[in-house]
Each structure stands twice: as structure tokens, then as C-alpha cells.
Structure 1
Amino acid sequence: MKLTSMRPRKIEVEPGTIMNFWAPTRIPNKNKNAVVFLHDFVGDGMITWQFQVLALLRKYAIYVPDLLFFGGSATGDSRQTVDFHAECVAKGLVALGLQRCTMVGFSYGGMVAFKLAKLRPELVESVVATCSIPALTESISKECLQRLGFPRWSELLLPNSVDGVKKLFEMKKLFSLEMKSSLLPLW
């Protein structure tokens, strides 16, 4: 990615909270629309979005944040909510000089994109989301966990057995294939 005129930038969005953003190395042409890609829970930004970034880099100003606890982004803050992630992403994008953008989110990244659009409508022009919902309610959460065969999200997202890791990566592979085949034709 460094060869594509993007580089990682660590931004302290608030005391004790650092986010890594892949961003253009120079200020983008004002005629280029900005696109922000938000990843899911299984990979970091560039692992999830590298093919889309490469395909769209010439036409758009691309930004790829690593959500907290991925790709060098971390916090000591106890707020682990979609609202907190959305605010951190917004603060980082503003620090990078972004004024308006299209958010593209996959799975959890889609939820963050929807929340960010609600919290900061002056920043978010539009949202494109795949494999996502606007908000995770308790009933949706329970139904999803039942279908996946897990009693709690922590057992799915932080497996403590080899079988759990295998199942997590099988789901990641299925979601990634679905995302790549459904999103690229839109551009």
C-alpha cells in the first residue's frame, strides 16, 4: 500500500486512544470524492479492503481506518460501543482534513458507518453497507448467535479453541467472498 501513495498515520483522537488511518500521502485533489472503508471484526482495514483500494485509488481519495484493537489502533477507554468507534473515526478523519465523504462499511464497519452518518451528517454524504444492519438490537443479536451456534459474541469473536478459530475463519472467508463479489460491480 505504501507504493500506492497511501501511508499509515497514527492519530491520537483523544487522550489514550490512538487510531491508525491509511490515508493519501498528499492532500487529495478537491475534485476527487473521498471514500472511507470501514472493516469488520475479523481483519484490519487493509486486509479487508485492499482489492477495493487498489481498484478505486486513481478515481477517489481513499481513507482506511483500522478500528480500535486492529492494525495498531488501541484505547484504554472502557467505552466499547458503536458510538465510541464512530466518534473516534470522525475525529481522526477531521484531523486528516476530511470534510465530506462516502462511508463504505462491511459487517460491523457498516454499523459504525450508519452511526457516524447519524452523529455527524455534515461529514457523511452517503453510506454503502454490506452484510450489515443499521443497529444491532438485542433480538437481532440473539437470533444471529443462535443461527451461528454460539451462546455469546465473545465466544465467536475471541475463540478459545482450534475449532472456534476454524469456524471464525470459515465465516470470514464466506463474508469476504460475498463482499468482493457484491461490492465491486457497484463502482
Structure 2
Amino acid sequence: MANIFHVYHRVLRWLMKVAGVRQELVQIQPGTTMNFWVPTRNPKKNPNPPVVLLHGFAGNGIMTWQFQVMNLARNYAVYVPDFLFFGESVTDRAERSPEFQAECVVKGLRRLGVERPCVLVGFSYGAMVGFRLAEMYPDLVAAMVVTSAPTVLTESLSREALQEIGYKSWSDYLIPNTVKGVKSLFEIGSFDFPALPNWIMEQYVKVF
């Protein structure tokens, strides 16, 4: 039986092409490649600021932002990166920090010809990367839209949040490897998440 997420991703590529974005792998540096979804039309002819959509932990860029892309791409040059270790973005470097992710996103945008200040839209982990990006490259940020993230995740706030959701570490919660873990991730992180059969959750674990 084909994995439903592999099948849907093929359909999603077609939908994104219709919406006006395409996939492009960008070499950030030797050993580091970042996957971006980028405009199919010449972005320099668009008078509006570019929009950069930064995803959270539970998936890749285009799975997270597919519906927003289909609406925003009509009027904006939209860029959707997969963070390193997500989707098709890879590196042989040991860095794992939001600062390193932000640095690679900016290098990728520069290589794609993005020079104007952008609107950053960050969800969860993507918002944390966005905050670091705005601190490190203020000239590249015109505005930010943030959801589901604190401006700073302190030790005390982290401990309180983990206690509230019943986990000992963020990796246990954010990187599930069981059906139960995936259900917990989406039920805690979503409002009124629909009940899905276990076989869908099993296929999600295999893909993500």
C-alpha cells in the first residue's frame, strides 16, 4: 500500500505549480542544501514585499503552509524553506541552533535573488527562527507575523510548559516515533484536531 503522504505530496507539487510556486534546491555551502518553494513568476516585478513562511516542527514547509501559499501567491512573491533536517534540506554540519537555521535561510534567499525587506511569518519553531533572523539581519525584515511561540523560551518557561503537557523533554514531544506520540503532538498543538485512524498516524511516522 502506497504511503498516503507520499501520494499527497505528489498532488501537492501540482497544486503548488498551479498556485504559482515551484521547488528549488539551493546550495547554502558545501555539504548544506536547503529546499525552497519559490515563485514561478519574476518576483522583481511584484511591488509587494516578499513573504517568507517559516514552518514548525510537525512537518515540512509546504505541508505546513499549503493553504496560505495558495492564497498569498496571487499577490505576493512567496518563499517557503524547509529547515535543515526537515523535508529535503540536509547538512553535514553539527549545528542545530535557530541561529544557524536563520543564517541558512538568509543565505538561501540571497542566492535566490531576494534583496528587499521581507514579511516573515513564523509558526512555533519557525517563529523562534524568525526572531533570530530579525535580530541578525534587521535590514531584511519589514515585518513579522508570529503564532504559537514565545519571544524567548527561558528555562523556567520551558519547564512549566513541559510539566503542563506531561513530557520530560521537548524531543519526546516534538519528535514522536509512535502512533500515540503523533496523536499527542497534534492534539496538544492543535485546536479541535480531528480523530484520525491509526494507519494514517503510522504512515505519518514513516514519512516525517
* TM surpasses 0.5: yes
Q: CA deviation at 1:172?
A: 4.3
Matched residue type, 2:183: K
Consecutive unaligned residues of structure 1, counting only runs of 5 or more, are: 178-187
Q: 1:23 aligns with which of 13, 35, 38?
A: 38
Distance 2:24 2:189 in 1: 26
Q: 2:150 aligns with which of 133, 156, 163?
A: 133
Consecutive unaligned residues of structure 2, counting only runs of 5 or more, are: 1-15, 195-208
Residue 72 of structure 1 pairs with residue 72 of structure 2: no
Q: CA deviation at 1:145?
A: 1.0
Distance 2:109 2:150 in 1: 23
**Secondary structure at 1:49 match in 2:** helix
**Secondary structure at 1:115 match in 2:** helix
User: Equivalent residue for 1:150?
Assistant: 167
Q: Is the 8 A contact 2:21 2:39 kept in 1?
A: yes
Using structure 2 for the length normalisation, give the TM-score. 0.80
Please show how residues 1-187 of structure 1 align to structure 2 within 5 Å: 1-28=16-43, 29-99=45-115, 100-174=117-191
Identity, % of aligned positions: 50
Q: Pairwise CA RMSD of aligned residues?
A: 1.8
Matched residue type, 1:68: L
Matched residue type, 2:26: I
- Post-superposition Cα deviations, 1:81-110, rounded to whole Å, max 9, x if no partner, equal 010111011111111111120100001111
Q: Give the greater-gyration-radius structure (CA).
A: 2
Using structure 1 for the length normalisation, give the TM-score. 0.88
